[in-house]
Amino acid sequence: YPSGNLAVIVTQETDQLICIVQEDEPRTAKIRALFQSDGRSTCYYPNGDEWINMSIHGGQYLDQAGSRVRRWTWPNLSPAPHIPLSPIFISLNRHVGVRILAQDKIFVSFLAMGRQAKFNIGAKMQVSAAGRLPPPAPLGEDELLLLAFRVRILQLFDRMRGCLNFPSSEQWNKMQPPSYLMTQAVKILELCMTADISDELRSSIKAIVNT
């Protein structure tokens, strides 16, 4: 961003690419969107609630109250009747926008100081010979630990912010973390339940995000 804060991260984890869009904040930057080359993607409202959620089968668009506004399926990839996609464009903030035209045409655009960068983070999924979709790549032990520690760090920053806002009160210590952090913690625990990891590591990750 013009402020110097990190806006878009593109990284490779095992055999897939991941694109992360962060909010323009110096500390505890919220994740505004997460796109994975295995077909899973999520965009979030500023308060952390889900805005758009996509999978290898299709996607859905939610309003800020959590109600589904529209739903679609990708052609030839869902056992359900095909529901066509009407092009979607959302602005995550004043600099970053997301345009969804097709499964392989999902664009993240960044505009600042008269210059633009555009990323096509869509992926065309193919049906396997057995007629089944390839399973999503599981997260490894290191990835799960990193996700857990990230949520823990954000939780600590939130408590520090509460302490600064209410220095003479103990109320901040009783405040619940933001909803987006609680949602991320639940998702990490769900991933742990299906991941091929030891019970000891699973318990450690649970302790990290629930501390």
- The pLDDT of 47-71, averaged and rounded, is 90
Strand-by-strand arrangement of the 50-54 sheet: 8-13, 16-22, 31-36, 41-44, 50-54, 58-62, 68-73
pLDDT of residue 129: 43
Nearest CA-CA partner of 32 in 40, 24, 8, 23: 23
How many CB atoms are closer than 10 A to CB 156?
Answer: 13
Task: State how far Cα 7 lies from the chain centre.
Answer: 14
pLDDT of residue 95: 95
At 109, the pLDDT band (50, 70, 90 cuts) reads very high
Residues 187 and 148: their CA atoms lie apart, in Å, by 10
Q: What three-state secondary structure class fits 41? A: strand
| pLDDT tens profile 139-179 | 677 788 888 888 888 888 777 777 776 666 566 556 666 77
Q: Is the pTM of this model over 0.75?
A: no
Q: Is the pLDDT of residue 33 over 70?
A: yes
Q: Which amino acid is at 44?
A: Y
Residues 11 and 17: their CA atoms lie apart, in Å, by 6
Residues 24 and 173: their CA atoms lie apart, in Å, by 27
Residues 2 and 24: their CA atoms lie apart, in Å, by 9
At 184, the pLDDT band (50, 70, 90 cuts) reads confident
Q: What is the mean pLDDT of the chain?
A: 81
> 37: which DSSP letter?
T
Q: Which residue has the higher pLDDT, 31 or 172?
A: 31
